[in-house]
């Protein structure tokens, strides 16, 4: 999980496709394809590129939890779980920084003082995965 592909052409391809894929997430008709594409590009990118961009994509996914239909919430929740895995198992930061970032993720999907998860009306698979990843790390 910590191995990194070091091909200059691969890094160049990610650098070329990422801005275009990010623009796709802004258009309502491309949201369903844009978020998984951006997430995949981040997950296979260099560690420094991932570290610089993953929090903005996570924040964008959080915004879609409230405003979109059920399928879009499910897609963005899948993106959150993939980005969480990549952050926890590929990025090496100090324990306190990792805990702070993980705390934000968990408080967003498991709001304090509420029994329901956020977003509600979605299958629990991704919630279970995020909890599992958090406890494994």
pLDDT per residue of the chain (137 residues) written in tens, 0 to 9: 566 667 788 889 999 999 999 999 999 899 999 999 999 999 999 899 999 999 999 999 998 887 778 888 899 999 999 999 999 998 888 899 999 999 999 998 888 887 777 777 788 888 899 999 988 87
Contacts of 44 (CB under 8 A, 6+ apart): 5, 10, 14
Q: Answer whether 38's CB lies under 8 Å from 21's CB.
A: yes
Nearest-angstrom CA–CA distance, 136 and 46: 23
Give the pLDDT score at 5.
66
Q: Answer whether 61's CB lies under 8 Å from 80's CB.
A: yes
pTM of the predicted protein model = 0.89
């Amino acid at each position: 999980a910590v191995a990194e592909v070091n091909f200059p052409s691969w890094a160049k391809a990610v650098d070329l496709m990422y801005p275009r894929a990010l623009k796709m997430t802004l258009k309502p008709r491309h949201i369903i394809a844009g978020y998984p594409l951006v997430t995949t590009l981040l997950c296979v990118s260099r560690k420094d590129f991932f570290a610089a961009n993953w929090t903005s994509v996570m924040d964008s996914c959080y915004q879609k939890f409230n405003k979109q239909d059920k399928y879009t919430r499910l897609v963005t929740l899948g993106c959150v779980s993939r980005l969480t895995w990549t952050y926890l198992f590929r990025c090496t930061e100090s324990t306190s920084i990792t805990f702070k970032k993980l705390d934000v993720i968990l408080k967003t999907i498991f709001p304090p003082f509420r029994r329901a998860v956020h977003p509600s009306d979605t299958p629990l698979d991704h919630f279970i995965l995020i909890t599992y990843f958090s406890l494994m790390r």
